[in-house]
Amino acid sequence: MAKIKTEKQYKAACMRIEELLKVVSNETPADDQNYLELDLIADLVADYEEEHFPVKAPALVDVIKLRMYEMGLTQNKLSELLNVSPSRVSEYLSGKCEPTLKVAREMSRKLGIDANIVLGV
């Protein structure tokens, strides 16, 4: 199978995807020529992007702050939820200390944060 090797090829492939999206829909049969071309080019673009534009895992501090915002939690409410002191939560949020394994488990469970992010894996 071919591979996108240059940024110029990448941009051309993205432009072709834009063109194909105008003629391919959810109702397009899987054996349609445009559908097949779109599927192939999309895979090539995805491979190029994974190699050249990797997405790094978010920092635990950022995920905690996002989850606090989403859940409407203050630092005090978070400390109650995790059974730690408010000053400990402040240390987590400033990056001064890492949660213990017990607290990490609670963060993962109660805040719905992926264990890999909590554990820094």
The CATH number of the domain holding residue 84 is 1.10.260.40
Average pLDDT over residues 76-87: 94
Determine the structural domain holding residue 13 and report its residue range. Answer: 5-51
| Rounded percentage of the chain residues whose pLDDT exceeds 70 | 98
120 pLDDT band (50/70/90 cuts)?
confident
Average pLDDT over residues 31-58: 93
Interior/surface letters 67-87, b for 16+ CB within 10 angstroms, e for the rest:
bbeeeebeeeebbebbebeee
115 pLDDT band (50/70/90 cuts)?
confident
Whole-number pLDDT of residue 1: 60
- What is the pTM (predicted TM-score) of this model? 0.60
CB neighbours of residue 8 within 10 Å: 9
| Residues 77, 98 within the same domain | yes
| Residues 41, 73 within the same domain | no
What's the rounded Cα separation, in Å, for the pair 14 and 16? Answer: 5
Q: Does pLDDT of 28 surpass 70?
A: yes
